Chain A
Amino acid sequence: MLKIQGVETGYGRLQILRGIDLHVPDGGIVALLGGNGTGKSTLLKAISGLLRVWSGSIEFNGKPIHNRRPNEIVKAGLVQVTQGKDSYPGLTVEENLKLGAHSRSDRAKIKEDLERIYEFFPILRERRKQMAGLLSGGQIQMLVIGRGLMAAPKMIMLDEPSAALAPLVVLDIFRQINKIRAELGTTILIVEQNVRMALLLAEYGYVIHDGRIHIEGNAADMIHDENVRHAYLGGTVVESAGEL
Chain B
Amino acid sequence: MIVDFLVVGFSIGLVYAIVALGISLIYSGLDIVHFAHGEFVMFGAFFGLVLVNDSGLNYPISIFLAMIFAGLMGVFVERVFYRRLTSKGGGYTVAGMGMIICGFGMAIILQNVAFLIWGAEGHAIQVDFGTPLKIGTVNLPKSYLWILCVSVTLMAVLHFFLKHTKAGLAIRAVAANKDIAYLMGINVPLMISLIFGLACGLAAVGGVLIGPINYVQVEMGYLILIKAFAAAVVGGFGSLPGAILGGLMVGIFETLGAAYISGSHKDIYAFLLLIAVLVIKPTGLLGQLAKSKA
Contact = CB atoms under 8 A, between A and B. Distances in A.
Interface stretch (B10-18, B170-178, B221-229, B249-257): B170-178
B179 A98 contact: no
B131 to A, nearest CB: 48
B293 A50 contact: no
A99 B294 contact: no
A71 B177 contact: no
Contacts of B184: 74, 99-100, 102-103, 147, 151
B213 interface: no
A80 B183 CA distance: 7
Interface in A62-84: 69-71, 74-75, 79-80, 82
Contacts of A69: 182, 187
A35 to B, nearest CB: 23
B190 to A, nearest CB: 9
A88 B185 contact: no
A90 interface: yes
Contact of B180 (A79, A88, A133, A151): A88
Contacts of A50: 179, 182-183
A171 to B, nearest CB: 26
Contacts of B292: 89-90, 133
A102 B180 contact: no
A99 B173 contact: yes
A20 to B, nearest CB: 20
Contacts of B172: 88, 90-91, 95
Contacts of A98: 166, 169
Q: Which of B184, B293, B294 has the most CB of A within 10 A?
A: B184
Given A71-B188, A75-B185, A88 B176 contact: yes
Contacts of A86: 177, 180
A48 B183 contact: yes
Nearest to B175: A90
A49 interface: yes
Given A90-B292, A102-B170, A74 B177 contact: no
B186 interface: yes
B183 A70 contact: yes
Contacts, number: 69
Interface string A37-50: 00000000000111
A74 B185 contact: yes
B166 A102 contact: yes
Contacts of B170: 99, 102
A102 B176 contact: no
Contact of A71 (B180, B187, B294): B187
Given A50-B179, A71-B185, A99 B169 contact: yes
B185 A91 contact: no
A74 to B, nearest CB: 3
A70 B178 CA distance: 11
Contacts of A102: 166, 169-170, 184-186
Interface in A173-198: none
B116 to A, nearest CB: 38
Nearest to A81: B183
A95 B183 contact: no
B176 A70 contact: no
Interface in A135-161: 147, 151
A151 B187 CA distance: 14
Contacts of B173: 88, 91, 99
B183 A88 contact: no
Contact of B294 (A74, A80, A90, A147): A90
Given A86-B177, A91-B294, A99-B169, 5 more contacts: A48-B182, A74-B184, A80-B183, A86-B180, A88-B176
Interface of A: 48-50, 69-71, 74-75, 79-80, 82, 86, 88-91, 95, 98-100, 102-103, 133, 147, 151
| Nearest 9 A/B pairs, CB to CB | A103-B185, A74-B185, A70-B182, A90-B294, A99-B184, A71-B185, A71-B187, A102-B185, A102-B184
11 contacts: A50-B179, A71-B185, A71-B186, A74-B184, A88-B176, A88-B177, A90-B293, A102-B169, A102-B170, A102-B185, A103-B184
Interface of B: 166, 169-170, 172-173, 176-177, 179-188, 292-294
